[in-house]
Amino acid sequence: MLKWRKNTLKFGILLLISSCVLETSNSLVEGLESTRAYDYTKYHPMDEIYRWMEDVEQGNPELVSSTVYGHTYEGRKITLLKFGLKNPEGREKKVIWMDCGIHAREWIAPAFCQWFVKEIVNTYKTNTKLEQMLQNLDVYVTPVINVDGYNYTWVNSSTRLWRKSRSDPPPNSTCYGVDLNRNFNANWGTVGVSFDSCSNTYCGNSAGSEPEARACDGHCKMHEHILCFLTIHSAGQLILLPYGHPEISAPNYDELVSVGKAAAAEMKKVHGMDYTVGTSPQILYANSGSSRDWARLIGIPFSYTFELRDKGEFGHLLPEEQIQPACEEAFAGALSIITYVHDKAFNSGVLV
């Protein structure tokens, strides 16, 4: 009888272990399925992106959570995905911010945010360095920040190249929308903007007048430990650093250039594409009110705008066959910057 009980106990323990292994295996499979079943080489309308975000969160509960941190002018949710693992030492974590789709017509930008998420979800369990970074960092990713504008670009071919938000026209005008990347409180309204509401660079009637810009501002200011702010655009193959105003220079300008050039070098290794690094006045044009400049002004030490492919052949109508190579090189660049920022904060012995 005693021998039978011991065997029964052993059998029960084996069943429990098998059950735990199977549950872990199923969880891993579900997490991978949530990203692998999705077609990352296609552009997706907003309703599909929302569903994809839900699937990613549900399939990876140990890594991913979501937050609705604002609403657009037309009342749509502005949602981010947060990626992070528990710090084994209980240490306070730092934050990386990434947003895409602030300009509605730049479809490759949201496509990249989705690609970035896929790479994180599918590799962090087998990439020791990435796992370490996710134990020290929380990465916030907003796939589409200008949801109204992005949604409008899907209406028909005549709306495909819409750039701005979809806020109502000001008095005595019939022109909708504000350029959200001219609406932040960063030397607002000084250079590279228009006060004509029909212009693509209309900066709004005041700094932070638009709910999308206020949502970003408010959520970022809730977190004192944001190390890096990455905002993804197209086109031109550029890595832009603060500031857009030609008479103002970031205090860590040299380091920003060095880190940006290292990222561009990593990007070139992937498909041989050149990305130019510099401030907007140096390599593009002067502007004010950008989220990149605003992020640096509020104290986020590393702030960059990525302008993805291409250099003029297709512009904002980048073909779907270029999504994968564009995202692969952009991921290499983003990971280069994030790794540098992480290592500076956590491996130098001095937390910033």
The amino acid at 331: F
In whole angstroms, give the CA distance from residue 175 to residue 173. 6
DSSP states along 273-285: ---EEEEHHHHS-
Of all residues in the chain, what percent are helix, strand and coil, respectively (each to 5)? 45, 15, 40
Contact yes or no for 142/98 (Cβ under 8 A) = yes
Q: What is the DSSP letter of 89?
A: T
Burial of 202 (0-12, 13-18, 19+ CB in 10 A): buried
329 is catalytic: no
Beta strands, E only, the chain:
64-71, 77-83, 94-100, 137-142, 226-234, 238-241, 276-279, 302-308
Question: 106, 210, 307, 329: which is the annotated catalytic residue?
Answer: 307
The amino acid at 159: T
HSE-up of residue 2 (Cα within 13 Å, Cβ side): 0
The residues annotated as belonging to the active site are 307
